[in-house]
A = this chain, B = another copy of it.
Amino acid sequence: MSLTDTSQHSNCSAMSDVLNRIGDKWSVMVVGMLGRNGTLRFNELKRLINGVSQRMLTLTLRNLERDGLVTRTIYPEVPPRVEYSLTELGKTLQVPISALWDWSAENHGAIVEARAIYDARETAVAADSSRKIAYARG
């Protein structure tokens, strides 16, 4: 099975299934963070990932653990300590995610630019048809 052969209709559902998890913003963040830092505690992750709520971080970690991408290690101490890290499977996922990350860093500017151009055109078109809209409204 060649690499370019993987995108037949048959694999659409598999891709879809996988995307439902890893296509998730927080999951990508968590994998990215764990991939770089190796092992992190719950609140360390929470601090590193900007804007994540404690609820979403918990859910994300649970799903990643369930999918065999992240290990969860509980240390029976007080105060409690729980450490997260990537499994071997998770580390392999880190590769394509890293590629995506790099692409983002490199092309974010181009996207912002494209949006500006598109929006400028759109507002121009909107202004052009403003009379018709106003007419229809009145």
Listed in ascending order, the chain A residues whose CB lies under 8 Å from chain B are 3, 6-7, 9, 11-25, 28-29, 32, 36, 48-51, 65-69, 89, 92-93, 95-108, 110-111, 113-115, 117-119
Contacts and interface: CB of A to CB of B under 8 A. Distances in A.
B96 A110 contact: no
Contact of A15 (B6, B18, B66, B101): B101
Contacts of A102: 3, 6, 96
A68 B6 contact: no
Q: Which of A89, A99, A100 has the most CB of B within 10 A?
A: A100
B89 A6 contact: no
A66 B19 contact: no
A27 to B, nearest CB: 9
Q: Which of A89, A102, A106 has the most CB of B within 10 A?
A: A102
A100 B103 CA distance: 13
A111 to B, nearest CB: 5
Contact of A100 (B22, B24, B68, B111): B22
Contacts of A97: 100
A93 B107 contact: yes
A32 B12 CA distance: 10
A104 B8 CA distance: 13
A67 to B, nearest CB: 5
Given A23-B23, A96-B99, A104-B19, A32 B48 contact: no
